[in-house]
Amino acid sequence: MSDPVRLDIEDGIAIITLARPEKLNALDEAMISGLAIAAERIDAHGSVRAAILTGEGKGFCAGGDIAAWGKLSALDMGQRWVRDGHRVFDRLTRLRAPLIAAINGHALGGGLELAATADIRVAEEQAKFGLPETGIGMVPGWSGTQRLVTRFGAAAVRRLALTGEIVTAERALQLGLIDEIAPKGQGLAQAHELARKIAGRGPIANAVAKQMINAAEGEDAAAAIEILAGSLVSYTDDLKEGVASFVEKRAPQFKGQ
C-alpha cells in the first residue's frame, strides 16, 4: 500500500503530495499523521528553502473523510479528530520554510482549511472552494472559523460557512482566498516558479519575515517573540561569559556586550 502523503525534496524545494486520489484526497487519520511526519522532516532538513503542498489526481483535498469521523463519539470527535487536525495544521502553518499551496482541484471544507496553512495559494482555473459542513449539520473544525477569518476576512468566511456556497477560482481570487490562478494542469509548475524565487532569497531572512507575519496574524506570537529574543541574546559576549562561568564554576563577569 502506497503512502497517502508523499514528500520529495530536491534543489532546496520540498513537495508534499496528498496521494489518495480515489477519494479526492479526503483526509483520514493516516493522512493527518502523514502530514505531521512531512512537516517534521521538512524542518529537520536544513537545505529546504521553500515547500509546496499539492494533491494527486483531480482534487486538491475534498476535506475530512466522513467515513473517518462520521461514527466517532462526541468525545473522540473533539479530543482526537479535531485536536489532531488542529495540531497538524498549526504545524504546517509554522513551517520554517515558506509554504505554497498548489491547488490542482477542489478545496472544500478541511481542504480549504488545509490550503489556508500556506503562505501563498496558487489555484488552477477549474478549482472550486467552499465550506459545506453546515449542510450536513457539522461546523468547520480545523480552523475554518479562526485562521480563515484572520487570513481571508470574516465577511468571506461568514458567507461560505453559513450559505455553503461553492465558489470558482475567479471568485476565490476576488475574495482573497487565493493569490494566483493558473491554467488547468499548470498549478504545480506555477507554484514551482514561485518556490524557486523564494529559494533564491536569504533563507534566514525569509524564515524570520514569515515568523513575524504569522505573529502579526496571531499565529503563536508568544513563541515568535521568545525565538527572536533567544536568537538575539545568543550573539552576545555576555552569554558566552555566562556559559563559561557555569562550566568553570565561578562568578560571571558580565560586560553588557
Catalytic residues: 113, 133
Counting other chains too, the contacts that 145-153 makes at CB distance below 8 Å and 24 or more residues apart are 147/89, 147/93, 147/113, 147/116, 147/117, 147/219, 148/112, 148/113, 148/116, 150/217, 150/218, 151/116, 151/176, 151/217, 152/116, 152/176, 152/177
**Which grid cell is 96?**
520554517
* Burial (Cβ within 10 Å: 0-12, 13-18, ≥19) of residue 173: middle
Three-state DSSP class for 98?
coil
What is the enclosing helix (H) or strand (E) of 122?
A: strand 120-124
Q: What is the phi/psi pair of residue 6, to 5°?
A: -105, 150
* Cα of 87 vs its chain's centroid, Å: 11
Amino acid at 227: I
